[in-house]
Structure 1
Amino acid sequence: MPHTADVRIEAWAPDREGCVAEAVAALVDSFVDTAGATADAETEFAVPAGDDEDMLVGVLNEVIFRLETEGALPLATEVRAADDGGLLVHWRSADAEAVELVGAVPKAVSLHELRLGPDEAGWSCAVTLDV
């Protein structure tokens, strides 16, 4: 990225929900090595209906928030469409102390050049993280 305090992640999957789950994995992989970590907690939360990009930002911001406030880090993410058009997110997570830091910890999700949508192969997204 042109700005040294930014990291760009991209993800793709056959559907929107899978793409959001892959974006969570990309965010986590951008700053920690989860090899050998074991999930010791489960979390579920709902993201209100909105634009696809807004819901993606909501999920990624939740990763950053829970890391900062609880020291929790998702190791596995499942995303389903909610009946109201929002997203239901399920994480299997570990304590952040159980993983090795390999990069700068993201502080926020930037809206600059944010993208989530269908393409010829399914769904893809690109997100800039402020670190």
Structure 2
Amino acid sequence: MGSAAARGHHRVPHTADVRIEAWAPDRESCLAEAVTALVESFVDPAGATPDADAEFHLPPQDDPDLLVGVLDEVIFRLETSGVLPLATRIRATDDGGVTVHWRTVPTEAVELVGAVPKAVSLHELRFGPTDGGWAGAVTLDV
């Protein structure tokens, strides 16, 4: 993955499904990178302008479960509201959970470039601290 000081994400070749990896200096930034990687795995957001805000809270839980919770929310809102996050800010809360703030766009405002994810797989799920930062990897069922 990337260096500890950098943040980023990419797709990893995976049979039949989509695998993404994300890394950043801290937990919240790494979660945000994972959201971006998920969205970019199936749409091209270039040129789209966010037109709404969304916010939600996830209670304290194991770090891998936080990653799954955030990504599951992207898929849920895609399926139920037809919106996707183009910008993500995540902050830790005093209770150990996180608050996620998104700038969103309707799905018709972005170009589909890949298979739409249906679920986050728990198989080979990784998310946690690394030397000097945080990293995660997850498989998306398409």
Q: TM-score range by the shorter chain?
A: over 0.9
Shift of 1:46: 0.2
Letter in 2 for 1:41: A
Structure 1 segments (4+ residues) deviating >3 Å: none
Shift of 1:120: 1.3
Shift of 1:3: 3.4
Q: Please, which runs of 5 or more residues in structure 2 have no aligned partner?
A: 1-12
Distance in structure 2 (CA, Å) of the matches to 1:2 and 1:21: 22
Is structure 2 residue 40 aligned with structure 1 residue 29? yes
Letter in 2 for 1:33: D
Aligned residues with identical type, % of pairs: 72
2:90 to 79, 82, 85: 79
Q: TM-score, normalised by structure 1?
A: 0.97
Kindly tell me the number of residue pairs found equivalent between the two proteins. Answer: 130
Shift of 1:83: 0.9
Of structures 1 and 2, the one scoring higher in RCO (CA 8 A, sep 6+) is 1
Cα distance 1:7–1:16, how it changes in 2: closer, same or farther (>3 A)? same
Once superposed, what is the RMSD of the aligned Cα atoms? Answer: 0.8
1:3 to 11, 15, 28: 15
1:7-63 superposed Cα distances (whole Å, 9 cap, x missing partner): 000000000000000000000000000000000000000011100000110000000
Partner of 1:93: 104
